Amino acid sequence: MRSTLLLLSLLGLFAVQAASPDRKPKAGKAGTGATARKPKTPADLPAFNTAELVARTRESIVRIEGRGRDGSQEGVGTGFVIDAEGLIATSLHVIGEGRAIQVRLADGSTPEVTGIHAWDRPHDLAIVRVRASGLSALPLGDSDALPQGAPVIALGHPLGLDHSVVEGVLSARRDLEGHPMLQLAMPIEPGNSGGPLIDRAGRVHGIVNAKSLLTQNLGFATPANHLRVLVKQPNPMAMDRWLRLSALKTQQWESFLGSHWHQKGSRIFGDGPGSGFGGRSYVLHREPMTSGAELQVTVRLSDESGAAGLIFAGDDSGRHYGFYPTGGELRLTAFEGPDVFSWRILGTVPSAAYRGGDWNTLKVRQIDGIWECSVNGEVVFRSTDRALQGSRVGLAKFRNTTAEFRGFRSGQAEARPPELPPEVVAGFTAGREPREALKAHPAAADRFLQERAQRLENEAGRLRKLAKELHHEVAREALVAELAKPEAEIRLAHAALLLAWHDHPELEIAEVERQLAELGSDARSHVDRVQSEADRIDALRRFLFEEQGFHGSRGDYRNPANSHLQSVLEDREGIPITLSIVFLEVARAAGIAHLQGLPLPGHFLVRHSPPGGTPRLYDPFNGGIPITFSEADELGSQSAGVPVRSEFLEGATPRSILIRMIHNLRAFTMERSGVESALPYSDLLVALAPDARSAAAERVDRARLKSQLGDRDGAAADLRAVLETVPTGPQETRIREALKALESRP
């Protein structure tokens, strides 16, 4: 979208320190010399190392490309040969139901896909047949016999990159939505889907299916024994018939501007962005809307930042009105041309009747020249606009959401369904459950109870959201107040715990501070046994990293818990900046002075600068070992991409440490939970910005996130605030362009 692209380009206008999240550092000296023990392999199996397995299986791995109507590539996945005469196994979601596909073999050739040999929707499996022979097939193993903890390898084409390999182990077996799955301790990317999961003997035990939303180092695979069943009991379908499967009925519908419109039974689906402005795509019904008729559909969006709904009063040139939910609100627009400059937004309003993430019934009817638009029975628009006079009606979608429609109807208004008698409603409202009276009116009772339950769920959700927002505000104000103190008075650990409390309302800050004080007291008993500052710091290092077990998080580095101080203290695991906070705070309590954080790009160290003495650096992520300035320069330069001189870096202040932690949390949370969960960190960064220029940069970034969530008003407000605070110059024009696009966006 134009507004989002403009916002992305604006981010380069402002330089903000520590705007990028810390990267996982390489192991320090303390980790050298450690030798990984190879897992044992049963004696009756041939055992190959990873390089040998990749070489042996390379010819069996294929790239599968989904194709659009015009032949353009729409997605990339993986498959593997299971029969030399042209059978390719993959996941069903990789090929899509009723979609054109292309199979690219390891030698680069693209044999004709002649049909779908077998497919299984519940287990997300498919076997494709191609016109080829003499292929190198992979043997299927017994997935039930694969032991927990067994080493496995996933082969595929993640993100379209050819021939990748990922090692891991079978960590568990899980039941997901009623289907047994293999849980994998390994990172899985989208393009790995459909690829084989093999053991050290090269046998397939699973078909890579999905990556976890909880952590990047967790994936799932469908057990290969389900594929065995599919091989024995195929349900073949020729390719020409497959391409007609779920196709939109052309005798009823005509599609425009791309997207993948398809139909299953009475339901219609629109997938992917269209080729029109703002990802617009639409379908028109063959039957026109007659005078006095009512237009209706029930719609559900996979992503509320998208939009989808009804179009009416249309013609064959693409002009029509649109009534649809977008960003949790309802909008009425006159589409009088191909782009935003010829569209008129007639209104955008919130509605308590709208149920985000659920099914919503949209209705449009014309009464005495007035267009009346309602959602779930509540009228939200009455428009007298008469610019468009066509009779064509249909469905439209915008952006990258998947829209699901059911119950499309264009005709005379249905008779209003019967209502419960008032005395029954009154009895229920009074706290009783008049079951017999309700049973006497089953259809009306079911509708009444379902609607009442939905209202209560909506209210409960609204209250929980309000409680969360209020807590975020209180925590933000407390953190702002703490960091507003003179630097010498800011309590670093307390500020870090306020940040953790922002995310964990149940956190008892005083109790964690007591635990930290006890840790400092215990450390002092070790430190006081020696005299020199260097020896005291070494005693502290041994106490924290050898006796207490604090260590750098290597397998789960980007877990947000590593940025929450109470979790670091509980788990004894963290990232460089939080382990440095522990080091600094325990050292202070133990009576060690002249320590401060050193903010390298992508890493964080502790510097000891005694008056008149030689400064020394310590790396808490790698066991607190001392490192030289040259080694620190190398660490920082690798991350920054430019030479870094660590001895000239200023020490980190409590404010800069907290801002860096918030940047980390925002990046880690966005990867794991999405934009909406990361947005509160942008609120913190705006509130804590040290100057107007930094605040402007954070507002531009927050505007980008809000735009992605469909909150165009919030994004526009941020850009207006930027225009009021930053100096005029070249960036002003670009900000105004982005603001204009936001204000006119559909």
Digit-coded pLDDT (tens) for 364-416? 998 888 999 999 988 999 999 999 999 999 999 998 788 999 999 988 755 56
**pLDDT of 30 higher than 80:** no
- At 438-482, the pLDDT tens digits run 888 888 888 788 878 877 877 887 898 899 999 999 999 999 999
CB-CB contact of 219 with 211 (8 Å): yes
Structure tokens at 176: 């997901």
pLDDT: is 22 or 223 the higher one? 223
Amino acid 12: pLDDT:
46
C-alpha 614/C-alpha 631 separation (Å) is: 16
What does the DSSP assignment read for 207-257?
EEEEE-SS-TT-EEEEEHHHHHHHHHS---EEHHHHHHTTB--TTTEEEES
- At 525-566, the pLDDT tens digits run 999 999 889 999 999 999 999 999 999 998 789 999 999 999
Q: How far is CA 275 from the centre of its chain?
A: 24
Lowest mean pLDDT among 165-169, 202-206, 284-288, 314-318: 165-169
**pLDDT of 8 higher than 60:** no
pLDDT bucket at 71, cuts 50 / 70 / 90: very low
Say what angle helices 492-503 and 509-527 make with each other, to 10 degrees.
Answer: 140
Closest listed residue to residue 350, CA positions, set 740, 713, 703: 713
**pLDDT of 34 higher than 60:** no
Lowest mean pLDDT among 1-5, 175-179, 663-667: 1-5
310: alpha, beta or left, given left = phi > 0 and alpha = psi -120 to 50?
beta
Say what angle helices 442-483 and 654-673 make with each other, to 10 degrees.
Answer: 160
Structure tokens at 412: 């005379």
Amino acid 425: pLDDT:
84
Amino acid 415: pLDDT:
57
Structure tokens at 564: 């929450």
Using alpha carbons, list the distances in angstroms from residue 426 to 11, 366, 429, 653. 57, 34, 5, 63
pLDDT bucket at 307, cuts 50 / 70 / 90: very high
What CATH number was assigned to the domain covering residues 50-240? 2.40.10.120
**pLDDT of 662 higher than 90:** yes
Report the range out of 173-177, 179-183, 262-266 with the highest average pLDDT: 179-183
Q: Tokens 């008779």, residue?
A: 415
C-alpha 125/C-alpha 90 separation (Å) is: 6
CB-CB contact of 358 with 233 (8 Å): no
C-alpha 690/C-alpha 695 separation (Å) is: 7
Amino acid 32: pLDDT:
30
Beta strand ranges found along 336-377 (DSSP E): 343-349, 360-367, 370-375
**pLDDT of 28 higher than 50:** no
- At 207-224, the pLDDT tens digits run 998 654 444 557 889 999
* Alpha helices per DSSP H over 504-532: 509-527
pLDDT: is 53 or 743 the higher one? 53
Amino acid 729: pLDDT:
66
Amino acid 357: pLDDT:
84
| Mean pLDDT for the stretch of residues 695-714 | 88
**pLDDT of 74 higher than 80:** no
C-alpha 434/C-alpha 425 separation (Å) is: 9
What does the DSSP assignment read for 36-65?
PPPPP--TTS----HHHHHHHHGGGEEEEE
Closest listed residue to residue 451, CA positions, set 349, 356, 377: 377
Amino acid 191: pLDDT:
63
What separation, in Å, do the N-terminal and C-terminal C-alpha atoms of the chain show?
A: 11
**pLDDT of 514 higher than 60:** yes
pTM for the model: 0.57
C-alpha 619/C-alpha 63 separation (Å) is: 44
Average pLDDT, the chain: 86
C-alpha 352/C-alpha 451 separation (Å) is: 13
- Per DSSP, the three-state class of 464 is helix
Amino acid 11: pLDDT:
44
**pLDDT of 5 higher than 70:** no
**pLDDT of 736 higher than 90:** no
**pLDDT of 3 higher than 60:** no
- At 112-167, the pLDDT tens digits run 999 999 988 888 899 999 999 999 999 999 999 999 999 999 988 754 456 678 88
Amino acid 46: pLDDT:
66
Under 8 Å CB-to-CB from 476, ≥6 apart: which residues?
A: 502, 683, 684, 687
- At 578-609, the pLDDT tens digits run 999 999 999 999 999 999 999 999 999 999 99
CB-CB contact of 585 with 492 (8 Å): yes
CB-CB contact of 398 with 326 (8 Å): yes
The alpha carbon dihedral of 269, 274, 280, 284 has a sign of negative
C-alpha 404/C-alpha 420 separation (Å) is: 31
The alpha carbon dihedral of 134, 225, 77, 172 has a sign of negative
* Topology classification of domain 253-411: Jelly Rolls (2.60.120)
Using alpha carbons, list the distances in angstroms from residue 222 to 13, 119, 152, 174, 197. 47, 13, 14, 10, 9
